[in-house]
Amino acid sequence: MVNSSIIPTFLVSWVQLIVPQPCFDKFFIDFDFFDATCLKIVISKGLGFAIIVGSLIVKVPQVVKILGARSGEGINLYAITCEIVAISSTWAYGYALKFPFSAYGEAVFLAFQTVLIAMLVLFYSGNTPMAIIYVTVYSFSMMFLLSPMAPMSLLSMLQAGNSLVIAISKIIQASANYRNSSTGQLSLVTVTLLFLGAVARIFTSIQETGDALVIFSYVVSSLFNGIILAQILYYWNAKPKQKMQ
């Protein structure tokens, strides 16, 4: 029946990434574009892949801002590390359970970019050896978590702790912002995209995984990314407090 659709044969496999069967037949053979179940699936798939595409560059503004200033001022390394743990847990958990890539794929790209930010923060603080060690330890950790040797019980525990880790990460950063009365080199574009992506992920996770641990972690992420975004807007023109001599 696929050959009878209005979609050229060479495009069918690509279209089915977003419009899987049986929705493909409903849409492009039966021309039933108002099936509620299929509409939810297609919207979820479309949002999922849009988030993944956006994740390719979501932290680039942050990286550019650090490179331009040659400083990681205002970016808390402990908060970044907690964020890396949360992102990497989502990546390993989704991969192990064979969730659709559209359900967790952005974690892969966010992990690489966030590790780069941590490395730059260490580098510009004059701690190059630690930056190298940091990246090396992370690389070997992910090799283990993505391997068959990683027990599912460990991955589930990491995912279960994700919400707490995300909350700790954002609370550390928000507290630093409050103490400094400034958000330093935090990027408005990056934080806005992270907030919008987390909100969208609540819907896609409900549709594609139904996993309560994953869904709750995105609810928490949306809340705390919203707080950081509000701080950036509030402290927009503020200068950081001067350190005591």
Mean pLDDT of 145-157: 94
- For residues 184 and 42, the answer to whether their CB atoms sit within 8 Å is no
DSSP helix/strand/coil, 190: helix
Q: What share of the chain is helix, strand, coil (3-state, %, to 5)?
A: 75, 0, 25
In whole angstroms, what is the distance from residue 186 CA to residue 172 CA? 14
Could you tell me the residue ranges of all domains in the chain? Answer: 2-34, 59-234
Percent pLDDT > 70 in the chain is 93
**Long-range CB contacts (< 8 A, 24+ apart) of 62-70?**
62/113, 62/117, 62/185, 62/186, 62/187, 62/190, 63/113, 63/116, 63/117, 63/120, 65/185, 65/187, 66/117, 66/120, 66/121, 66/124, 66/185, 67/120, 69/185, 70/124
pLDDT band at 40 (very low <50, low <70, confident <90, very high): confident
Mean pLDDT of 88-96: 93
At residue 2, the pLDDT reads 44
The closest alpha carbon to 90, from 105, 100, 112, belongs to 105
pLDDT band at 56 (very low <50, low <70, confident <90, very high): confident
Mean pLDDT of 148-160: 92
pLDDT tens readout for residues 173-213: 899 889 888 887 788 888 998 899 889 889 888 888 888 88
In whole angstroms, what is the distance from residue 33 CA to residue 35 CA? 6
Angle at 174 between CA 172 and CA 79, to 5 degrees: 35
pLDDT tens readout for residues 3-16: 455 667 767 777 88
Q: Is this prediction's pTM over 0.75?
A: no
pLDDT greater than 70 at residue 239: no
User: Which range is least confidently modeled, 132-141, 179-188, 197-206, 221-230?
Assistant: 179-188
**What is the sign, positive or negative, of the torsion defined by CA atoms of 208, 210, 216, 217?**
negative
- For residues 15 and 70, the answer to whether their CB atoms sit within 8 Å is no
**CA-CA-CA-CA torsion for 168, 171, 177, 179, nearest 10 degrees?**
-100
pLDDT greater than 60 at residue 130: yes
- For residues 186 and 237, the answer to whether their CB atoms sit within 8 Å is no
